[in-house]
Structure 1
Amino acid sequence: MGTRRYARRQNKMIRGRFLEHPTREVPPIYELDTTDLSKWDDEVKNKAIHIVESHINESACNFEPLTSEIDEIKKGIDGNSHNYCDVCNRIFIGDNVYAIHLKSIRHNKVLKKKKRLEEQKKKMELMEEKKTMELMEEKKPSDV
């Protein structure tokens, strides 16, 4: 059980780090089928030796490397761009980090708080305006 979990985590790490990273240049990665131990020499050992030898000798390899799994959306993400959140008064480096921040609970709480304060400010202004109008109306009859 533990080795299967470890293998899944390793595969996930390799995909995330090498195959799905939009800005990283990585060498070709080859998939080797290690499920059947009786075919270890043919499926793993010989393929690995051939891949390494072709890389060392700079010759063509008979096996196809895994293709990058980067979608077009991730390619457009700039990892070095600077984004400023007016609501939270914070700077974020990278479009991905900024997009995550905009969906965060903290950002939404600050946004709600600022909206609530703005509404309270408007109510206070309306009440003050109403009071001044009442005072002006009270002064008018005495002036006449």
Structure 2
Amino acid sequence: MDTEKVTDRKVELEKEDGHALHKRLSQVDPEMAAKLHPHDKRKVARSLQVFEETGISHSEFLHRQHSEEGGGPLGGPLKFPNLCILWLHADQTGPGPSVPPVYGLEVSDVSKWEESVLEPALEIVQSFIQGHKPVAAPVKMPCNEMENKRSYHMCDLCDRIIIGDREWAAHIKSKSHLHQLKKRRRLDSDAVTAIENQSISPDCDKELKEKGSPEQNEKELKSSV
């Protein structure tokens, strides 16, 4: 008997149009749809897959995970105890709150990899395995707890959907947005100028003089009678 091939539903969904998928998700899980960009078909398809296979919306599924003991804003309880993170220094913002300790490893000089990276990393990991506090101090990561990574923004000027406070702040400072803003202001200025020119044009004044004021027209009508 031939074994029936099991098709990954998520793969099937990703073949469909992104906007159509997002519209379907907004009908069954509006909360999650508001957090995902229509172009992010992978995540949209995953949320639809969760709903189709469990009958529970993806957002509700995550809420239940977060409410479990040991859960938090980033997800459900951690799978393993005594966790830590080894953070290779880079020019980017660190992880948010509710994460294990983060330890920095300097990688500027790769010729000193063993003494600067490998040995400190092994020492930190060994300390966690043995239940001891590492000699190295964890890195204090800057984090804005008020930042919403899933906020929904619609830029009517650029006709784009932006997800996340940081992404929105970057978008309104981007060259493309500023170009559209400058273009819109120029069009608005031209429209105002055209209206002003039309209101004071000689042809318009001549037409008004020929028609006369309402009082003049009334006097002329009475005199003719």
TM-score of Structure 1 vs Structure 2, range by shorter chain? 0.5 to 0.7
C-alpha spacing 1:24/1:99, structure 2 compared with 1 (3 Å):
farther
**Hey, what's the Cα distance between the residues in 2 that align with 1:123 and 1:48?**
67
Secondary structure of 1:92's aligned partner = strand
Q: Which runs of 5+ in 1 are unaligned?
A: 1-9
Calculate the TM-score normalised by the size of structure 1: 0.62
- CA 1:137 to 1:51, structure 2 compared with 1: closer, same or farther past 3 Å? same
Q: 1:95 and 2:165 equivalent?
A: yes
Cα shift readout 1:84-132 (whole Å, capped 9, x = no counterpart): 2232232211111111111111111111111111111112222333344
Residue of structure 1 in register with 2:209 after alignment: 137
Cα drift, residue 36 of structure 1: 9.9
Task: Give the conservation status (yes or no) of the 8 Å contact 2:154–2:161.
Answer: yes
Matches of 1:31 and 1:49 in 2, distance apart? 11
Identity %: 22
1:50-104 per-position Cα deviation (integer Å, ceiling 9, x unaligned): 43333224x1224133323315xx4432211112223223221111111111111
Sort the Cα spacing of 1:88 and 1:35 in 2 relative to 1 into closer, same or farther, 3 A.
closer
Aligned residues: 125
For structure 2, the residue ranges without an aligned partner over 5 or more in a row are 1-86, 221-225
Whether the 8 Å contact between 1:88 and 1:110 is mirrored in structure 2 is: yes
Name the TM-score, length of structure 2 as normaliser: 0.43
Q: Distance in 2 between matches of 1:132 and 1:64?
A: 82
The separation in 1 between residues aligned to 2:106 and 2:211, in whole angstroms, is 92
Alignment CA distance shift 1:136-1:35 (3 Å): closer
Q: Secondary structure at the match of 1:83?
A: strand
Match of 1:112 in 2: 182
Give the aligned CA root-mean-square deviation in angstroms. 3.8
Tell which has more relative contact order, 1 or 2 (C-alpha 8 A, sep 6+).
1
Structure-2 residue corresponding to 1:4: none
